[in-house]
């Protein structure tokens, strides 16, 4: 009989990704409703010590599949290893991060174990009566939210966007033994050969990691408006983000988009500049700790989810705010 919730915790270059910790935090809530355990699974090479850290983030058990073939992500060995794990352990639920790795790996594993997969989820819950996993995700271009269940097959599988769930506070006192699962892998399982790894050096950080976001909408007027926002964000030690309309207009890169069809963020400060507050955008930023909104329309929907609302022209207010911040930072540093 299928039991327990398995979280596939990604590692890159031997370091655990944040999304795995977020999924473990959410899995602890689901497990409490089911009376089951949370099992964290890490694939890699010489990764046992790093995997052990997941106990501190809520895992009841940590399993490692350790093999030199798994040092860098390649589809076939990872899919084979997880397929064997699922066949042996028969989990009730398996969760992946909706990252480049998770989006490649999860559907292949689901196909091999003959189960369904709900991709890019923004919400998970357990149905009180059926005890089925309720998997919620945007549909029809983000215009509606669909809740999907997998009644007949196991495990129930989902990928979840980074930044949607909240990791538990680290409890360093919680430790445990890391179990090592042996899977027969060899060079013959590599259907591609990695000749070299070239890592792009980015000056900006992922918006899901930023503590401060200055986000632009259609109200900033043009692509040049983001230069103004970047200057403000720099003074705050933050990053620039965007609504979908600006991405669609080609004003900014798609990896800056916040919303149902973009990224979900939880910064300490979110400044919404010329953003109307469509439900699709709000879904991606409503869990920010403090929201400041600037909009000429005093009835804009964004004000309903804001801690502080400023009615006015963002193209006037932001430059003045930036100048004030520059003066403050200069005085503080003297």
What is the average pLDDT across 277-281?
86
- Which domains does the chain show, CATH number per domain? 5-189 (3.40.50.620), 212-333 (3.40.50.1220)
Residue 311 has a pLDDT of 93
- pLDDT tens track for 27-82: 999 999 999 999 999 998 888 888 899 999 989 999 999 888 888 888 888 998 89
Query: Residue 330: what pLDDT?
Result: 85
Is the CB of residue 2 less than 8 Å from the CB of residue 37? no
Give the β-pairing of 178-180 and 61-66.
Answer: parallel
Contact, 126 vs 34, CB < 8 A? yes
pLDDT reading at 123 higher than 90: no
Grade residue 161 by pLDDT with cuts at 50, 70 and 90: confident
Distance (Å, whole) CA 165 – CA 193: 35
Look at residue 187 and tell me whether its pLDDT is greater than 70. Answer: no
Joined together, the tokens standing for residue 202 give 């980015």
Q: Give me the phi and psi of 149, to 5 degrees please.
A: -125, 155
Q: Would you say 245 and 215 are in contact if contact means Cβ atoms under 8 Å apart?
A: no
**Whole-number percent of the chain with pLDDT over 70:** 93
* pLDDT per position as a tens digit, 315-334: 999 999 999 999 888 887 76
Say whether pLDDT at 200 is over 80.
Answer: no
Higher pLDDT, 17 or 1: 17
């Amino acid at each position: 009989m299928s039991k327990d919730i398995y979280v596939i915790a990604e590692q890159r270059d031997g370091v655990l990704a944040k999304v795995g910790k977020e999924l473990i935090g959410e899995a602890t809530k689901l497990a409490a409703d089911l009376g089951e355990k949370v099992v964290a699974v890490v694939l890699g090479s010489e990764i046992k010590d790093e995997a052990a850290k997941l106990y501190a983030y809520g895992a009841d058990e940590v399993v490692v599949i350790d093999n030199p073939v798994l040092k860098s992500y390649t589809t076939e060995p990872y899919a084979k290893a997880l397929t064997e794990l699922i066949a042996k352990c028969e989990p009730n639920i398996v969760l992946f991060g909706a990252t480049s790795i998770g989006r490649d790996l999860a559907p292949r594993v689901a196909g091999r174990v003959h189960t369904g997969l709900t991709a890019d989820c923004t919400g998970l819950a357990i149905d009180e009566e059926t005890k089925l996993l309720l998997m919620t995700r945007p549909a029809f271009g983000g215009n509606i939210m669909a809740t999907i269940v997998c009644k007949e097959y196991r495990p129930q599988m989902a990928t979840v966007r980074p930044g949607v769930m909240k990791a538990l506070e680290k409890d360093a006192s919680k430790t445990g033994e890391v179990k090592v699962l042996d899977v027969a892998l060899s060079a013959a399982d590599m259907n591609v050969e990695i000749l070299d790894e070239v890592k792009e050096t980015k000056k900006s950080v992922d918006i899901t990691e930023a503590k401060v976001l200055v986000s632009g909408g259609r109200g900033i007027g043009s692509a040049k408006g983001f230069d103004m926002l970047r200057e403000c964000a720099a003074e705050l030690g933050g990053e620039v983000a965007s609504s979908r309309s600006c991405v669609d207009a080609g004003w900014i890169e798609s990896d800056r988009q916040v919303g149902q069809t973009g990224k979900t963020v939880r910064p300490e400060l979110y400044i919404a500049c010329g953003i109307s507050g469509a439900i699709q955008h709000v879904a991606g930023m409503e869990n920010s700790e403090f929201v400041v909104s600037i909009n000429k329309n005093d009835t804009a929907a964004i004000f309903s989810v804001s801690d502080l609302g400023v009615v006015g022209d963002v193209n006037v207010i932001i430059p003045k705010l930036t100048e004030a911040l520059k003066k403050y930072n200069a005085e503080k540093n003297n």
